[in-house]
Amino acid sequence: MLEFDFLQPQSLAELMVALDETGGSILAGGTDVIPRMRSNLFSASTLVDVSKIGELSFIEERAGEIVIGALTTHAELMNSEVLRSANPALVDAAASVGCNQTRQRGTLGGNLANASPAADTVPPLLVFDAQVRLVSSDSERTLPLIDFFVGPGKTRLGPAEVIHTVSFPRLTGAWGAAFQKIGKRSGMAIAVVSAAAAVVLDETGKVSDARLALGSVAPTVVRSPKAESILQGQQPTPKLIKAAAQASAGDISPISDVRSTAEYRRHAATVLAERAFQQAVDQAVSLVGA
């Protein structure tokens, strides 16, 4: 029988004290921790439930930057009008997470801290150059989100350090962003492959910025410089978008596991990259000259 002490701080200050005194493990939505407990894959002397810390649950725009509290749920992400206008790819990704119960409980911070290569919210954040703010009782620091992940299940979180917020700048001008995902089934599906793209067009309709992130095809979610460079400065024709998507295969290292083969993942990644790029371009084209 699993035994542990249980703490439920009501504020960030109380959380810092609890972590300093116990070195406990954090419980947010419980959508990852509880299944691990049931599978005997989790052990901790103290479990610190952070679900009551309301100050870490919000979505705000501050001087052109979107700031999201770590305890914001997937349901709140998918229903946010701020995000719908600032990062529709993140809205779609949040809507794809598990089932309704999971979306109501699971949090953005938990999704990031779990550091799964299949984490749905990560690709849409990476294509917006998101940063993560980490805090402890005596320090705080900000990292590019892409540098936060070390490998499957591993991050740069230090002892007694927690994710506070995630932030990214709002894109301006003619831009679009999209998220695509393939899972083995429609409900509760962990991504076999996922992709997010963001594209900005100049006044002539050429690509001034192109970004692509792919999930479940490497030890961490990755950006694809090869794909991005092909579109840069060019008219985004369907032929060029396809070429860029195919080039993304050079930036990934998929594996075979119980959910898919490496060969299928490599093919699916290029298909989803093409779809995401095309969807983002279509959104941006509608705004050229607007």
Per DSSP, the residues of 164-202 read EEEEEEPP-SEEEEEEEEEESSSSSPPEEEEEEEEEEE-
Q: Which residue has the higher pLDDT, 263 or 258?
A: 263
Q: 3-state SS of the chain: helix, strand, coil percent to 5?
A: 35, 25, 40
Q: What is the radius of gyration, based on Cα positions, of the chain?
A: 19
pLDDT of residue 277: 98
pLDDT of residue 140: 96
Instruction: Please report, as a single letter, which amino acid is at residue 39.
Output: S
Domain ranges in the chain are 5-49, 54-169, 179-285
pLDDT at 188 over 70: no
pLDDT at 258 over 90: no
Give CA–CA dist 93/213, Å, rounded: 13
Q: What is the mean pLDDT of residues 128-142?
A: 97
Q: What are the residues whose beta carbons fall under 8 Å from the beta carbon of 123, sequence distance 6 or more?
A: 89, 93, 179, 194, 195, 196, 213, 214, 215, 221
pLDDT of residue 40: 63
State the burial class of residue 253 (Cβ atoms within 10 Å of its Cβ: 0-12, 13-18, 19+). Answer: exposed
What CATH topology corresponds to 5-49? Answer: 3.30.43
Q: Would you place residue 150 in the very low, low, confident or very high pLDDT band (cuts 50, 70, 90)?
A: very high
Angle subtended at Cα 44 by Cα 133 and Cα 47, rounded to the nearest 5 degrees: 60
CA proximity to 120, closest of 112, 132, 130, 129: 112
pLDDT digits (tens, 9 = 90+) for 12-42: 999 999 999 988 888 886 666 666 666 566 6
Interhelix angle 238-247/262-285, rounded to 10 degrees, is: 140
Q: Which residue has the higher pLDDT, 258 or 175?
A: 175
CA proximity to 97, closest of 127, 121, 81, 69: 121
pLDDT at 219 over 80: yes
pLDDT of residue 42: 64
Q: What is the mean pLDDT of residues 230-259?
A: 96
pLDDT of residue 37: 65
pLDDT digits (tens, 9 = 90+) for 61-118: 999 999 999 999 999 999 999 999 999 999 999 999 877 888 988 999 999 999 999 9
Q: What is the mean pLDDT of residues 153-167?
A: 95
pLDDT at 177 over 90: yes
Q: What is the mean pLDDT of residues 42-50?
A: 81
pLDDT of residue 187: 44
pLDDT of residue 46: 86
Instruction: Please report, as a single letter, which amino acid is at residue 224.
Output: S
Domain 54-169, CATH among 3.10.105.10, 3.30.465.10, 2.60.120.10, 2.60.210.10: 3.30.465.10
Give CA–CA dist 209/200, Å, rounded: 5
CA proximity to 31, closest of 17, 51, 15: 51
Architecture of the domain defined by 179-285: 2-Layer Sandwich (3.30)
CA separation, residue 141 to residues 106, 212, 250, 267 (Å): 24, 26, 33, 38
pLDDT at 189 over 80: no
CA separation, residue 65 to residues 92, 196, 209 (Å): 20, 20, 18
Least confident of 19-33, 136-150, 256-270: 19-33
pLDDT of residue 28: 82
Mean pLDDT, the chain, as a whole number?
A: 92
